Amino acid sequence: MAADDEKFYEDFEVGDSFVTAARTITETDIVMHAMHSGDWQPHHTDEEFAKTQPFKRRIAHGNCTFVISTGLIFRSQGRPNPNIMAYGYNKIRYPAPVFAGDTIKVEVKIIDKQVHPKHPDHGLLTQSETTTNQRGETVAYVEHVLYAKRRSSSS
């Protein structure tokens, strides 16, 4: 079987999946996300405002959960595969909040594959990246599209 970093389009099947390691989201992560992005929405950074909102306390930025999820996926994948390039995201949703102290992990699953209509030596793989917390609730759902070289094209 092909090593992870030598896989081609053909080596991925719809339904293939893996689960990443987990990471606890801390108040530090929330503050650092605000600092790094410059997004100080009061839902994430103003405790008095947050008390007046449905969740009653500060929550992580959805994008904080998202970028930390990409880091968890990176950890699981080891060395980069030169046959695969990021193409973009087609959907991002944050269906439930993440609080400081929650621990998240990501299930990655191939949900679609298509030969590229204009570049037939490549295909588009769509993988769902579903981030859940320690209670099994989905806190982020992402559809990530990868541009993968077809094996035949490499000969």
Interaction site with a copy of itself (CB under 8 A): 21-24, 26-29, 31-33, 35-43, 45-49, 58, 62-63, 66-68, 70-72, 74-76, 78-80, 86-94, 101, 103, 134
Give the number of C-alpha atoms closer than 13 A to the C-alpha of residue 125, restricted to the C-beta side.
27
H helices then E strands: how many in the chain?
4, 6
Q: Considering the complex, what minimum distance in angstroms separates the CB of residue 15 from a copy of itself?
A: 22
Task: Copy the structure tokens of residue 17.
Answer: 């999946």
Give 41 or 152: the residue with its C-beta nearer to a copy of itself: 41
Q: Considering the complex, what minimum distance in angstroms separates the CB of residue 138 from a copy of itself?
A: 13
Q: Considering the complex, what minimum distance in angstroms separates the CB of residue 120 from a copy of itself?
A: 21
Residues 6+ apart with CB under 8 A from 32: none
Q: Considering the complex, what minimum distance in angstroms separates the CB of residue 11 from a copy of itself?
A: 20
Task: Copy the structure tokens of residue 127.
Answer: 């993988």
Phi-psi region of 52 (alpha: psi -120 to 50; beta: other; left: phi over 0): alpha
Give 13 or 48: the residue with its C-beta nearer to a copy of itself: 48
